[in-house]
Amino acid sequence: MFTSLFAALNSMAPEDLIVAALFIPTAAALLIPLCHRVPNLREAVTLISAVALATVTWSLYPYIIDGVRPELKVWDVGQGLTLSFKVEPLGMLFALVASTLWIVNSIYSIGYMRGNNEPRQTSFYVCFAVALASTMALAFSANLFTMFLAYEVLTISTYPLVTHKATPEAMKAGRVYLMLLIGTSMVLFLPAIVITWATAGTLDFTAGGIIPITGENALSPFLLGGLLFLFIFGIGKAAVMPIHFWLPAAMVAPTPVSALLHAVAVVKAGVFSILKVVVYVFGIDALTTTSANTWIIYLSAFCVLMASIIAMNQDNLKARLAYSTVSQLSYIVLGAVLATATSVTGGALHILMHAFAKITLFFCAGAIYVAHHKTEVSQLDGVGRLMPVTMFAFFIASLSIIGIPPLGGTWSKWFLALGALDAHYQFAMAVFMISSLLNTAYLLPIVSRAFFKPLPGTAAGQKVAIAEAPTACLIAISLTTLGCLILFFYADFALDMIKLVDFTGAQTNTASSPAAGGELLEGAFNVR
Amino acid sequence: MNALSWGAAEPHLPILVVVIPLVGALLTTFLRNGFLAWLVATLVAFTLPFITIHLLLTVLETGQPITYKIGNWEAPFGIVYRVDQLSGYVLSVIAIIGAVIMPFARRSVVAEIDERARSWYYTMYLLCLAGLLGIVITGDAFNAFVFLEVSSLATYVLIALGKNRRALLAAYQYLIMGTIGATLYVVGVGLLYVVTGTLNFDDMASRLSAAIVDPGQRNAVVTALGFMVVGLSLKLALFPMHMWLPNAYAYAPSFATAFLAGTATKAAIYLLVRVVFSVFGVGMTLENLPIGEVVIVLSIAAMFLASISAVFETNAKRMLAYSSVAQIGYITLGIAIANQAGLTGSLAHIANHAVMKTALFLALGAVFYRVGSVLYDDISGIGRKMPLTMAAFAIAGLGLMGTPGTAGFISKWYLAVAAIDDGMYSVVFLIVASSLISVVYIGRITEVVWFREPSKAAAQAKEAPLSMLIPLWLLAFATVYLGFDTRATVGTASEAAKVLLEGVR
């Protein structure tokens, strides 16, 4: 049956694959409530659609590598407002990450939600599916309007997930989440889109950017910087300080939701949007020639360090991981606004690498909660003896976040650091290195505490019975940990694709032409 | 729809728009049975959209307005009805809303109106409908005043019949304010009649340009403009002349609220646009009085202050009423910016807001039908008991917030583009910032109905009956549909805006 399915997918035109990628999670969202009374069937729907979605996105991958850029125009609303989709390398990468991790996250969710006896599981899975549908729409969006639409749907569909527990704290966090994300998107992102429309006369993502910096309609460097300000802070999902409060607040949600927020969809949608805006709306050349990006380089560098320092002082495990995410997101923003081909490559790669590492860390935090109801770092003494697999996975993922070979995180940091040099911001490279040290300082003590300190109430060296999380959780954790490792050796599947990103608009849709980006980038590939 | 053959009635369609509901009103007075009266009213209400849409399509096709001389009397002596792009559009909005809510009326009216008053209620409804359509279709300044009064008087009754005794006071408030507004309007009409010697909008327009340069008449013309604008602003509830509206909407029976929120202020807005753009002409208006600036400031004040009032409301109907005042602020803002995009956005928002707000009030009406109250404390947790109703409410609420993919976003987009076209960058941010406040008040009620524990009354409620769900979901669906297919709203609105700005009329 599966072979025939693959055969069918291979024969599908890439445009149909886009439709399928949007349709599958939507259909899941409609089917799940129908299976309300049969939980096993309901979860089967989620799992099957997750696998189907990943299959579809992976079937799109070879087309993108071959230089095909499938487009799908759905509806013209008028005045530049067109609902249309186009798959380009960055979006493809994001879609692959999100759809692949949805499978793992679904496996984990089933274990977690059942293990914790959470209420309202049907609406939980529905919102999850809607969030995935909007993530796919965002990844494949061909213009700012489509992106904005998907962005807002993603916020709204994840709001019920954040408030899932319906406790007063959850409601409060939900309010912060909704107001900060909808608020910034309406007050800053939307005007940015309107101004883009007014100056550029189009909203389509175009290689080399659409905002004129020379000629009649040109924006002065000052206004260009202002527009960049609107985009960077309007896309609140990227959690650039001071728009980061929602992320630590949202950790009241169940762990699978945190994983969705931090790794699969939400924050990644934010930084992905920023990457796309920088590359296809501003154009990296426009930013570097006008130096409109200088201030945001300093700001995001500050965020990288500041969030890491805050993370060190958090005792709540999920809060610590949340601030770690804030810091890591600023890596990607920094990579984007350094605006060189290498730094953007690093940023895009970091979406992938950070996703796998961070989802593992959150899965571990959730596993600890399910098995032992521990939430604070200070309670974790000796937990490594109870849950060796979980804590080992936590260790591996921490190393990947820090960027130590042989783990995936190495590559993204490598390219980011090279990009900083390429852009002649040596200090940014220093920031990346210092931040790695800080990462070590807030992640590894957790591991050492878990393994080397005795469990409270037991003497050192005394044997304790292993008490791990539900099997479904363990499977998910093992898969993503393995992912961190594999990504070190097989990172070229992503690099080959990012190489195809058209930075200048000079490149046509042929895969044979070399990627723009200069010698450093080429050199980097040779190093590998 | 254009293929529909009207036979011998074809040339008389403009007058039928008013005559049909009037005759219907007469019929219902003879029916002592509420159900039969409802049947008649429904029949009438469903005929009207076919006529108005046919008229609108004809106008759009030919590009020429349709004029109808009553009794074949020529313009200066007789009354002329006139359908152009703008009036055809507003007529269709009113007629469609008037029809869609009829299935809802049946049970809601039975629940909220005394048995002996039910058929009278439909009489008043049809009179109000006739009045609103009359305001829009007539080409005569005094006739517009007459219809204004017809609709207002009917509205007072529609509000006063509410079971809550405060409805009486609300209706009385509306009566006083409405009368003042209509009086100011008619004073302006009188002054213009003295100056131009005509009551016909077209003739007035052509003679005013001569009168304005005559120093002896200039003051009269400017005074007339001031009187008419202020009078109509009262009727359309422009901030700070909106005080009558929240109580009127909150204490009126559910059906009346749903109908009035979508249509009543829209007719007054139409008349304001007609007077400012077609009679005086936008150039003359702005040269002689700083109406543009004043209305922009008041609109922005409405967008913020009324929205903030909505945030602190604990009565869901009053909350939506304040939100209406804020939304009217968006409409008047675009009118005051007075460029192509601004007018297009405003006129499109007339339809978009009518659809969304009617949906919201219908949802609350359904809740009132099941719970008997719309206070936050009483309807908390109702989402679990009436998921379909409250899901539709949420969709329309998203529209009100201006979420992309809904009708509200389209209006907001055009208004923002209009502000940028005029170089008013700060206004762009005010528009989006005020819509943020709508996120707060919609978010607040969403929390109340979905996440709080059900109240005692809500715990016993069941899902609304189908006759209420169907119109509600139609409108909720339209909220999303009009966010993508904007041919009907933006398409027509931009045609109308073009005509208004060219001053062709």
What pLDDT does residue A474 have? 84
Q: Does B113 touch chain A (CB under 8 A)?
A: no
Indicate whether B222 belongs to any domain.
Answer: no
Token pair in block for residue B86: 């703008």
Indicate the number of domains in chain A. 1
What percent of chain B clears pLDDT 70, i.e. is strictly above it? 98
Q: What is the pLDDT of residue A509?
A: 40
The secondary structure of A497-516, three-state, reads HHCCCCCCCCCCCCCCCCCC
Q: Is A78 on the interface with B (CB under 8 A)?
A: yes
Q: Provide the number of structural domains found in chain B.
A: 1
Sign of the C-alpha dihedral, residues B221, B226, B231, B232?
positive
Q: How far apart are CA B110 and CA B96, in angstroms?
A: 23
Q: Is B262 helix (H, G, I), strand (E, B) or coil?
A: helix
pLDDT for the residue A68: 80
CB < 8 Å to A190, chain B: 412, 416, 432
User: A78 to chain B: nearest residue by CA?
Assistant: B486
Separation between Cα atoms, residue A440 and residue B103, nearest integer Å: 66
Q: Quickly state the pLDDT bin for B366 (edges 50, 70, 90).
A: very high
Distance (Å, rounded) from C-alpha A321 to C-alpha A327?
10
* A contacts of B449 (beta carbons < 8 Å): none
The conformational region for residue A336 under phi > 0 = left, psi -120 to 50 = alpha, else beta, is: alpha
Q: Is the peptide bond before A242 cis (omega within 30 degrees of 0)?
A: yes
Q: Which two tokens stand for residue B370?
A: 């099941």
Quote the Cα angle for A501-A502-A504, to 5°.
Answer: 145
Are B102 and B39 in contact, with CB atoms under 8 Å apart?
Answer: no
Label residues A475-514 b or e (16+ Cβ within 10 Å = b): ebbbbbbebbbebbeebeebbbbbbbbbbeeebeeeeeee
- Interchain proximity B439–A186, CB inside 8 Å: yes
d(CA A198, CA A75): 21
Q: How far apart are CA A273 and CA A149, in angstroms?
A: 12
Question: Which tokens go with A353?
Answer: 């690498």
Q: What's residue A59's pLDDT?
A: 86
**Is A163–B428 a contact, with Cβ atoms under 8 angstroms apart?**
no
Interface residue B443 vs chain A (CB under 8 A): yes
Q: Which of A197, A129, A71, A125 is nearest to B419 (CA)?
A: A197
Residue B117 placed within a domain: no
Answer yes or no: do B404 and A149 touch at CB < 8 A.
yes
Backbone angles phi, psi at A395, to 5 degrees: -65, -45
Torsion, Cα of B434, B438, B440, B445 (10° steps): 170
Task: Identify which has the larger pLDDT, B469 or A288.
Answer: B469
| CB neighbour list of residue A394: distance below 8 Å, 6 or more residues apart | A360, A361, A364, A446, A447, A450
Task: Say if the Cβ atoms of B451 and A152 lie within 8 Å.
Answer: no
CB A520 within 8 A of CB A418: yes
3-state DSSP assignment of residue B483: coil
What's the CA gap between B401 and A17, in Å, rounded?
Answer: 33
Interface probe for B, chosen from A194, A219, A273 (most Cβ of B below 10 Å), is A194
Quote the domain boundaries for residue B438: 290-505
Q: Say how far apart CA A392 and CA A242 lie, in whole Å.
A: 34
From the list A148, A163, A186, the residue facing B436 with the nearest CB is A186
Q: Please give the Cα distance from A69 to A26 (Å, whole number).
A: 23
* Beta carbons of A78 and B490 less than 8 Å apart: yes
Task: Encode B125-143 in three state secondary structure.
Answer: HHHHHHHHHHHHHECEHHH
Reported confidence tier of residue B128, pLDDT bands at 50, 70, 90 = very high
Q: Go through B136-166 and write b for each residue having 16 or more CB atoms within 10 A of its CB, e for each that does not.
A: bbbbbbebbbbbbbbbbbbbbbbbbbbeeee
Report pLDDT for A2.
Answer: 57
**Which two structure tokens, joined as six digits, stand for B412?**
């907001």
What is the C-alpha to C-alpha distance for residues A311 and A323, in angstroms, rounded to an integer? 5
3-state SS class at A407: coil
> What is the average pLDDT across B420-434?
87
Contacts of A175 in chain B (CB under 8 A): 443, 447
Q: Calculate the CA A254 to chain-centre distance.
A: 18
Sign, CA dihedral A429-A434-A437-A443, equals negative
- Could you tell me the residue range of the domain that residue A231 belongs to? 2-527
Q: In angstroms, what CA-CA distances link A286 with A36, A209, A252?
A: 52, 8, 41
Structural domain contains residue B190: no
B436 contacts in A (CB within 8 Å)?
179, 182-183, 186-187
Q: Do A79 and B432 touch (CB under 8 A)?
A: no
Give the residue from A192, A202, A181, A266 showing the smallest Cα distance to A229: A192
Question: Tens of pLDDT along B182-236?
Answer: 999 999 999 989 888 888 888 888 888 777 777 888 888 888 888 999 999 999 8
Q: Is the pLDDT of residue B2 over 70?
A: no
Q: pLDDT digit string (tens) for A271-289?
A: 999 999 988 888 888 888 8
Chain A residues inside the 8 Å CB shell of B432 = 186-187, 190-191
* Contact call for residues A280 and A251 (beta carbons, < 8 A): no
- Per the DSSP assignment, residues forming a β-bridge with B68 are B81
pLDDT in tens, chain A (528 residues): 556 666 666 677 888 888 888 888 888 888 888 888 888 888 888 888 888 898 888 888 888 888 788 888 888 877 778 888 888 888 899 999 899 888 888 888 887 787 777 777 888 888 889 999 999 999 999 889 999 999 999 998 888 888 888 788 888 888 888 888 888 998 899 989 988 888 888 888 888 888 887 777 777 778 888 888 899 898 988 888 888 888 888 888 888 888 887 777 888 999 999 999 988 888 888 888 887 788 888 888 888 888 888 988 888 888 888 888 888 999 899 888 888 888 888 899 899 889 889 889 888 888 888 888 888 888 888 888 888 888 888 899 998 988 888 888 888 888 888 888 888 888 888 888 898 889 888 888 888 888 887 777 776 666 677 777 778 788 888 888 988 888 888 888 888 888 888 777 665 443 333 444 444 444 444 443
CB pair distance less than 8 Å for A194 and B404: no
Residue B231, C-beta contacts closer than 8 angstroms, at least 6 positions apart: B180, B181, B182, B183, B184, B185, B186, B187, B188
pLDDT at B504: 41
Q: Do A178 and B398 touch (CB under 8 A)?
A: no
Identify whether the C-beta of residue B33 lies closer than 8 Å to the C-beta of residue B119.
Answer: yes
Q: Is residue B182 part of a domain?
A: no
Interface check for B485 against chain A (CB to CB < 8 A): the answer is yes
Element (H, E) at A107: helix A89-116
Question: What pLDDT is stored for residue A6 in this prediction?
Answer: 65
CA distance B365 to B185: 33
3-state DSSP of B376-409: HHHHCCHHHHCHHHHHHHHHHHHHHHCCCCCHHH
Residue A84, helix vs strand vs coil: strand
CB contact under 8 A, A175 and B443: yes
Size of interface A-B (CB pairs under 8 A): 73
- The residues in A 159-178 lying below 8 A from B, measured between CB atoms, are 160, 163, 166, 171, 174-175, 178
Chain center to CA of A303: 17
A residues 183..222 contacting B (CB < 8 A) = 183, 186-187, 190-191, 194-195, 197-198
Query: Residue B14 domain-assigned?
Result: no
Lookup result for tokens 């005080």: B243
- Which residues of chain B make contact with A152, given a CB cutoff of 8 A? 403-405
Does the ipTM surpass 0.95? no
Give CA–CA dist B411/B347, Å, rounded.
Answer: 9
Of A75, A81, A178, the CB nearest to B413: A81
Q: How confident is the model at residue B332 (pLDDT cuts 50, 70, 90)?
A: very high
Find chain B residues with C-beta within 8 A of A144's C-beta: none
User: How far apart are alpha carbons A451 and A453 in whole angstroms?
Assistant: 6
Q: Kindly report the three-state secondary structure assignment for every residue of B426-480.
A: HHHHHHHHHHHHHHHHHHHHHHHHHHCCCCHHHHCCCCCCHHHHHHHHHHHHHHH
Kindly report each contact of residues A482-485 with a partner whose C-beta sits within 8 Å and lies 24 or more positions away, as own/partner: A483/A356, A483/A360, A483/A408, A484/A353, A484/A356, A484/A357, A484/A360, A484/A396, A484/A397, A484/A400, A484/A407, A484/A408, A484/A409, A485/A396, A485/A406, A485/A407, A485/A408
The DSSP annotation for B181-223 comes to HHHHHHHHHHHHHHHHS--BHHHHHHHHHHHHHSHHHHHHHHH
